[in-house]
Amino acid sequence: MNKLALSAVALLVLALLALPRFVGSLTEARVRERVAAIDASPTTAAQVTSFDRGWFRSTARIELRFVPDNVAGLADVAGGFDAARTLPVALDFAHGPIAVLDGVHFGWSKMIARPDTMAPGVTELQQTLGVPYLFEFRGRTSYAGALDFDADAPPFELPIEEAVLTFSGAMLDGTFAARQLDAKAQIGAVQFTSPTGTFAVRGVYASADNELRSDYVMPGVASFTIESISVIDAAQGATPVFDAANLKASSDVSLDPSGELLEMRVAYDVDSVRLQENEITGAAIGLTLRNIDVAALEAYSATATDAASNGDPAQLMAALGPHLERALKAGPSMTLDPIRFRYDDEPFEGRIEITTNTARLPPAGTLALDNPLLMLGLVNTDANVRVSKPLAATFAVLAARQQLGSDDSIPQDQLDYMAEAQSGLMLTMMIGQGVLVEDGDGYRTELQFRDGAMTLNGNPLPFGL
């Protein structure tokens, strides 16, 4: 019995010693697979420049290159390190089932990724910024295969001639398991101060809880928030000439039970935006897309990416036609609701709905993308707007000023008087023509486009498709 127990223990020890080598092999395969996927992206190139695999530990070096060449480099700051286009990354791996790397992790692997200090310019940039590393990404793979990760970029203060760039640091954490990504990120503040003024962004937060089905279909919810953005012109004092508070964007993407049709809801909100003396408050735009054919969306997006790289418009149209035709057969729709804001505390509200008129679709294979009138005839549109009378008057004055233009021979106060006089005539004319309808303390207008015919506030217009 003792011999049996000793044999079992010996086999267990051998297995524990052998597993790291096997896990290391799997780790290398996964790294190379992921880098190949990144390299296939039209915006990023990636290459594994080295992979040294050991029994319990491995190291790798990857070079990421961002394709757009018009991004300015950071050569002056980094001593030749073109960080805007090329990012050399060094990775350290520890192999499980007991991974030892900056602590002990019970799982298949543990990794740490940082910009490669062996690459030209990286160490110089770190020294210039006064940080231990530019960023660090830490990942831990569990026995179930899930990846828990966290990352950070340390704070720094960078003098640039007479200006100073201040960065409060950034943090990221989340999990990735079975194509499901759940992550949160935040940046406290970024501020650029110079003798001429200050630009500051504060309180940046982002979150995502999405299933990564493909590059184009990611059902789930995501959000992005900025607490404030401000611009101070030193020549005009300490009061910001521009500021925005609580900018928010969120999305919610879902699939129908069959997984064939997609629905997406996107919302944009901002509490206030002020540019000098002009202020908009309570602004919101909601966008809803329904009945989006998933297969058509993926094929259309992939085809557009491939065809656009050749620069041949005729080839692009020919390639996109079949996918757009399939997408239209599903009856997609788009709704903008709400469209809302207040200017000088006066309200504006609107709604637009565009639906596909599937009854007017041409026979299969005959859809012509180069015929805009045909494409317009395939949609129905409902739009309505309501605006307070004071705000309508303000808009009319702005339109009249635009028509009058600028004339140095006419004093500004006289131009303002002429614009206000013309604005009253414009509103009276629009009411008389039925473009605007009085509605209590405001005006409203409703536009409908059905089967190629258009009506304005219930009155047919003498043109259509």
Give pLDDT tens digits for 304-329: 776 656 666 667 677 777 888 888 89
Q: Between 323 and 439, whose confidence is greater? A: 439
Beta strands per DSSP E along 178-329: 180-194, 197-211, 220-233, 242-255, 261-275, 278-293
Q: Of 197-211, 295-309, 357-371, 374-388, which has the strongest mean pLDDT?
A: 197-211
Predicted TM-score of the model (pTM): 0.84
Q: Helix, strand or coil for residue 419?
A: helix
Burial class (CB in 10 A: 0-12, 13-18, 19+), 283: buried
Q: Taking the domains of the chain in order of start, what are their residue ranges? A: 1-154, 157-255, 376-465
Cβ neighbours of residue 259 closer than 8 Å, sequence gap 6 or more: 294
Q: pLDDT at position 313, please?
A: 67
Question: Confidence band (pLDDT; 50, 70, 90) for 5?
Answer: low
Q: Using one digit for the tens of pLDDT, what is the confidence trace for 406-427?
A: 666 677 777 777 878 888 888 9
Q: Using one digit for the tens of pLDDT, what is the confidence trace for 75-124?
A: 444 444 454 467 899 999 988 787 888 888 888 889 899 999 988 888 99
Q: Using one digit for the tens of pLDDT, what is the confidence trace for 231-254?
A: 999 999 989 999 999 999 999 999
Q: How far apart are CA 272 and CA 99, in angstroms?
A: 50
* 389-404 and 412-432 helices, crossing angle to 10°: 120
Q: How far apart are CA 47 and CA 138, in angstroms?
A: 20
Q: pLDDT at position 85, please?
A: 67
* 294-310 and 313-329 helices, crossing angle to 10°: 170
